[in-house]
Structure formats: structure tokens, C-alpha cells
Structure 1
Amino acid sequence: MRSHLIRALLVLAVLLLSACVTSNTGNLRAGNARAVVAAESLPAPDSTGAGGAYTGVPDYRIGALDLLQVSVFQLDAMSREVRVNSSGMISLPLIGAVAAGGKTVPELEQEIASRLTEDYLQNPQVSVFVKEYTSQRVTVEGAVNKPGIFPITGRTSLLQAVAMSEGLTPLADPGAVVVFRTIGGQRMAALFDLREIRAGNAEDPQVYGDDIIVIDQSGPRTALKTITESLRGIVGFRTF
């Protein structure tokens, strides 16, 4: 199923790129194309807040295996790190099991506060911080040893994501790594060269949940090569 999705995405990208390569190249030469020169300023996808690995997003919904920091003002016994289990539950002193999965951070704070108000405190001040967004996942496909969908725990770079897939195959082209991302409601792609990143000549960009990373093969022409060739010389993400 996943491979079919990737193939369909690549075919669509090829068709769209063939229609827009000429106009986008003209925009680039005229100085109108959007380019980003530093990894820190590469735009995050629509599902994240700017600048961090999902930090501070009010509508983020907690998922299984996320790591939470729970604090209650003037009640140290309640302040601890808890891991959401596979059923979406956490366990806390005094109040026991609490359903966290599917809730936003403010909703979980309100739930814990309500449970404490019933028997222990008046107007408790509850704070919940998501330390690891394990429920966020990145897809790595193409010429890697272990393609698949991998969880992201905190800030994760492109090199770290490739390492999760146990590295490149002997047929991989390290200069043809494409990251697909939805930005501003548009599907976009950016080309990266792992050799330049490893040599310290290019910054290692942050990846986010729902990113799709595809590593092309060297040698004969592939569907992805149409994308990589059109992206060469462009820094940052571009609509395809």
C-alpha cells in the first residue's frame, strides 16, 4: 500500500513538473522564486508550529507513546514524566488512569485539573508539556536498506532519518535525496545532497512528521530523476 502511494506521488509529480519547469526556471532567474538558504529557515509543514518539533501547537493531539511532562503547582508528588501507553492512557498519583490519547494539551490539563478538584485541590494549576512526539512519523523510501515509517522523537534531522532506515544501498545516489512536504496547503519538494551535508558544506535540515523522504538510485533514469533534475540548483522547497 505504501509503495503504491509513493509511486502515485512520483507519477503526479512528474506530470506537474513537466508543466511548470519552464515558468519556475524563469522565476528563479528573475529573482521571483522562493529560495531558502539556511536549514533553520526551511519552512515547517502545515501540521507544525514554526521553529520547533511540534512545540506549542495548541491543536496537536496526543498520541500513543508520546512522552509527557506533567506538573501541578505546589503538588510535587504529581510532577513527573509519563509515557502514553498503546491504549492512549497514562497513570498519575492520586487520580490513577487518565485517557490522554486524542486530547490536546489544554484538554488533558483540564481533565487532570477536574479529577484533582473532585477530592484533593481547589483550582489546581496543571501544566502538561509534550517532551517527545513519538506518535509523529516520517516515511523513508527508495534506495535504503530498511524502507518504512519511523517515529520521530523530538527534533530529527535528515541524516538521522536516513540512519533510521539503516543507511543507503550500494545503488543509492546520495546526491538525489528528495523530501516531500505540505506547506501552505501545497505539496512541495526539496532536493538534498547527503555528501555535502556529511562534509559540512551544507546544513542538515530538520524533518517533520508526515514528511516523505525518497532516495533515488544512481544509474538508469527513474521517475524520481525528473524531479531531482528540475530541483538541482534550487535551495529550499518548491511546488511541484
Structure 2
Amino acid sequence: MTFAGAKSVLAIAVATMLCATLSGCNTYQPAPKSFSEATIQPYRLDSGDRLRVNVFEQAGLTGTYTVDQAGYVAFPLIGAVPSRGHTLPEMEQMIAEKLRQGYLRDPDVTIEVDRYRSVFIMGEVGQAGQYSYVPGMTVQNAIAVAGGYSARANQANVDVTRKINGRVITGRIPISDPIMAGDTVYVRERLF
């Protein structure tokens, strides 16, 4: 192969990679409608959430319980209670019904989230890592918690990976959008 031939092969290879890179950026879709709708739905429990359960006048049952990796809460007397994907009122009802089956006559159960599962912030931020979620948190708040943007960060929007109805979905959203507990936020590097 001649020098001119090698040069043209190299030029074609570079053009192909550049074209693939740019077309990859253009084919990335924004987050689907269900992505933003999930932020206004009732909170659904998942692994890592810590719950404060109060059973009225039952000090032995009242306490904090964590949703385990399998999606269950180990509760005294009644055992494992399926929690993943359920809302707090659904959990209150499930625990009360199980306690009614031979343990308490009319249990009054209230549950609130003691600590939400973490959010993960990666990419072009000061300190990527796992951080505590706070209700009402936006992408911008999450980035601030992670030490702000790096010098190379794309500050217009981010990629967020979220579990919706049991499916893991990634979408690109503006930094003013809310995030949810368990989300993974990825700040991309800007191209230029």
C-alpha cells in the first residue's frame, strides 16, 4: 500500500468514527413521558428504604425497618412483608391485615419513610458517588451535593436512569427536573 493509499484509508476511518459518534448523539431520545409522570406518582418503596413503623400501643412492634435486597421488610410476628413497588398506605394495610390474623384485634398501623434509598451521581462532577435523597430534590441540587460540575461538564442536561414499573429506563432531562430516590444521574462531558 502506498503512502497516499494509507492516508486515504486513515481519512475514511476517521470520517466513519466521527460520523458514528455524531449520529449516536443525534439518535439519543429524550426521556419518555412516563419518566416525568413517575415523579408525581405516590412514592413506591424499594430496596434500601428505611421505614418508621408505628403500631399504636404496641411498643414491641413499633420501630424502624429496612426494605432488604429482595424487596421485603422483616416484621415481628408476621415475618417477611413484600414491600418493593408498594406505597406507604398499601404497606400499612398489608401489615394491619397480617396482624389481625391472630395477633391483634384492631391494629392501627402508620408508616413513614425514615430514610430514602440513595441517589447515585456520576460523570463530570466534583465527587461522584452515592448520596442521600431528599424529597423535592432536583438534578441541579444533586449535582451541587456532589461538589458541582467539573470543568469539562455539559451543564445543559443529564442522563438519568430510573426504575419505572419494574423496568430500568434511561432518559436525558434538563437540570431543573426533579429526581427520585434510587435514580442514577450521569453528567456527560461536553464535546467542545
Q: Is the structural similarity TM-score above 0.5?
A: yes
How far, CA to CA, are the matches of 1:9 and 1:189 in structure 2?
A: 17
Q: 1:190 to 1:105 in 2, by over 3 A?
A: same
- With normalisation by structure 1, the TM-score equals 0.48
Matched positions, count = 156
> Normalization by structure 2: what TM-score?
0.58
1:52-67 equivalent positions in 2, closer than 5 A: 57=42, 60-67=43-50
Offset of residue 73 of structure 1: 1.9
Q: Give the counterpart of 1:102 among 66, 73, 85.
A: 85
* Deviation by residue 1:193-223 (Cα, 9 ceiling, x = unmatched): xxxxxxxxxxxx8643547453544xx63xx
Q: Among residues 161, 166, 187, which one is paired with 2:142 in the alignment? A: 161
Q: CA deviation at 1:164?
A: 6.3
SS in 2 for 1:134: coil
Deviation digits for residues 98-126 of structure 1 (CA, Å, limit 9, x no counterpart): 33223332332222112211222122121
- Give the secondary-structure state (helix, strand or coil) at the position aligned to 2:52: strand
2:157 corresponds in structure 1 to 178
Q: Considering Cα pairs closer than 8 Å and 6+ residues apart, tell me whether 1 or 2 has the greater RCO.
A: 1
Confirm or deny: 8 A CA contact 2:48 2:68 kept in the other structure. Answer: yes
Aligned to 2:103: 120
Indicate how the Cα distance of structure 1 residues 171 and 104 shifts in structure 2: closer, same or farther if over 3 A, else same: closer
Query: What are the equivalent positions in structure 2 for 1:40-55 lying under 5 Å apart?
Result: 45-49=36-40
Mapped to 2, the partners of 1:129 and 1:89 lie a distance apart of 16
Residue ranges of structure 1 left out of the alignment (5+ in a row): 1-6, 17-43, 193-204, 222-240
Give the structure with higher Rg (CA).
2
Pairing partner for 2:61 from 78, 99, 116: 78
Segments of structure 2 that go 5 or more residues without pairing to the other structure are 1-21, 163-170
Could you report, residue by residue, the CA deviation over 1:22-74 in whole angstroms, capped at 9, with x for unpaired residues? xxxxxxxxxxxxxxxxxxxxxx931123xxxx7xx1xx431111011111122
